[in-house]
Amino acid sequence: MAESVRTEDETGANGQPALKRVLGPGLLLLFIVGDILGTGIYALTGQVAAQVGGVVWLPFLVAFLVALVTAFSYLELVTKYPQAAGAALYTHKAFGVHFITFLVAFAVMSSGITSASTAARAFSANAADVFGLGFSDGIGITLIGLGFMSLVALVNHRGVGESVKANVLLTCVELTGLLIVIGVGAWALGAGEGDFGRVTEFDTGERSVLGGVIAATGLAFFAMVGFEDSVNMAEECKEPRRIFPKVLLAGLLATGLIYVLVSISAIALVPADDLSRGDTPLLQVVEAGAPGFPIGLFGVITMFAVANSALINMLMASRLVYGMSSQHVLPPLLGRVHPTRRTPTTAILFTTALAFGLITFVGAVPALGGTTALLLLIVFTVVNVAVLVLRRDPVDDDHFRTPTVLPVVGALACAFLATPWAGRPTEQYRIAGVLLGVGVLLWGVTVLVNRRTGAAVPPLDPDRFTSGGPVN
C-alpha cells in the first residue's frame, strides 16, 4: 500500500497535524457576533448616558468606527499570517523585541481579567435585582462577585471543552436579550409612549460637547472589543484569506447597528439621569417600556450573557499565562498542570487572585470596563503600527491589503483615546499600571532565575501564547 502523503492544509507547524478547518462563513459570523455582544452594552449603557445625556447612541457609533478602522488592520494581518496567536504574533514579527511582545501579550491577558471582573460586577447587580436581595452596592455586591468568580475558577479548573455549537447557543441568548430591548423600544414608539426627542439632547455637564463625546467613546469602546479574538480562529477556518474580510466586517456592522438601536430604545424609555443609576440599565428599560414583561426572565438572560463573558475571558487569561510560562517569560510555577484534570492550575489561581483584587478594591463597572478599553486601545495602537512595519515583509500568497490611511488613522485614534486628553479617569491608569507592573516584575524575576540557573531558553514563539482577547 502506498504511503499516504499529508497535504499542506493537513500539516501544521513542526510536522504536527494542522487544526481542523471547520468554520465556514455562517459559523464564523456567529462566533464574531457572539464575541462582541455581552457585558459592555448590558452594563455600561447607563454610564455612557451619564457622560453625554440623550445622545447615548453617538459614543457607541464613534467607538464602532474606531473599531472598524482597526479591524481593517487585523484583516490584513490575519490574511497575511493566518495563524492563531493574534496581537503577540504580529508584534513579534514587526518589532522582534521579546519584551515588547511580552508586554502586548500580558496587556491582552490583563484586559481579559478586567473584562471578566466587569462581568462579575454586572452579574452581581443583576442577581441582586432579580432575586430581590435588598442591596445594589457595597459589600453585598462584592461578596456575590467573589462567589461568582470562585465558581468560574472551579469550572475553569475542571476544564471546559469549547465548541462552535455552544458558541452559537450562547450568542443566540445574548442576542435575544438585546432584541427584546429593541422590540420594546419599537413597541413604545408605535404606541406613542416614551420620548424619542431625547435622542438628540446633549448633556455633558462641565465638559464641552466634543469632550463629553470623546470621554464617553473611551468607555463605550469596551462594548466593541471581541472582534480581535476571531483572528485566533484563522487556522480553523475554511479559506480564511477569502472569507475573513467580508465576515468580520459584516459582524462588526451587525453589532454596531444593534448597539445603536439598543441605546436609542434605552434613552427613549428612561431618562439619562435614571439610566445612569446602578449597574442594570437595560433592566430599567424593559421595566419601563413593557411593565408586563417578566422582568426576572430578562434578568436571567443578562446574567447568562455576562457569565459567559466572564468564563471565556478567564479561560483565555489563564491559558495565556500558562503559554507565557511555557515560553520562559513568566515563572515556571505558573505553567504547572493538574495531573488528572490537565488544566493549568496555578495559572488559574493566579488570574483568579488578580480578579479577586479588582472586584474587592475597584469594584465599579465604569472603572473596570474603562481599564479593559484602555489596555485594548494600547494593543490596537501597536497592531495598527505593526501593519505598516510589516509592509516590508512580503508573502507569496495573496492577502487582504487595507488602504494605508486606515492603519494611520487607527493608530492615531486608538493612541488618543488611550490618553488623559480623551477624558479618561486617572483611576484606569492606576489599575492598568498595577496589572502591567505585576507582569514586568514577574518577567524580571523569571529572567534573573533563568540566568542564575543557566536554563536554556528556547526562541520566543508567540504562537505558544495562544493569545486571544477579551470578549463581551
pLDDT at 256: 93
Q: Which of 155, 177, 175, 156 is nearest to 167 (CA)?
A: 175
The answer for residues whose C-beta is within 8 angstroms of residue 361's C-beta and 6 or more apart is none
Domain boundaries, the chain: 22-465
Which is nearest to 55 in space by CA: 370, 267, 229?
Answer: 267
Q: Which helix (H) or strand (E) holds 47?
A: helix 39-52
pLDDT at 262 > cutoff 90: yes
38: left (phi over 0), alpha (psi -120 to 50) or beta: left
CB of 116 within 8 A of CB of 362?
Answer: no
pTM: 0.87
Which amino acid is it at 138?
G
Q: Are the CB atoms for 214 and 417 separated by under 8 Å?
A: yes
Q: Please determine, for residue 468, whether its predicted confidence score (pLDDT) is greater than 80.
A: no
Question: Which tops the pLDDT comparison, 230 or 1?
Answer: 230
Measure the CA–CA gap between 91 and 390, rounded to whole angstroms. 10
Find the mean pLDDT for residues 154-169: 64
Residue 4, pLDDT score = 36
Task: Determine the pLDDT at residue 6.
Answer: 36
Residues 91 and 102: their CA atoms lie apart, in Å, by 9
- Residue 11 confidence class, pLDDT cut points 50, 70, 90: very low
The rounded Cα 376 to chain-centroid distance in angstroms is 8
Least confident of 1-15, 73-87, 107-121, 349-363: 1-15
Q: Which residue has the cell 474587592?
A: 360
Fold of the CATH domain 22-465: Amino acid/polyamine transporter I (1.20.1740)
pLDDT band at residue 205, thresholds of 50, 70 and 90?
A: confident
Please give the residue that has the higher pLDDT: either 98 or 374: 374
Percent of the chain with pLDDT over 90: 41
The more confidently predicted of residues 229 and 275 is: 275
Backbone φ and ψ for 385, nearest 5 degrees, come out as: -70, -40
Whole-number average pLDDT of the chain? 84
Q: How confident is the model at residue 137 (pLDDT cuts 50, 70, 90)?
A: low
Q: Region 242-257: what's the mean pLDDT?
A: 88
pLDDT tens digits, 277-287 = 877 899 899 99
What DSSP assignment string belongs to 203-240?
--TTS-HHHHHHHHHHHHGGGGTTGGGGGGGGGGBSSH
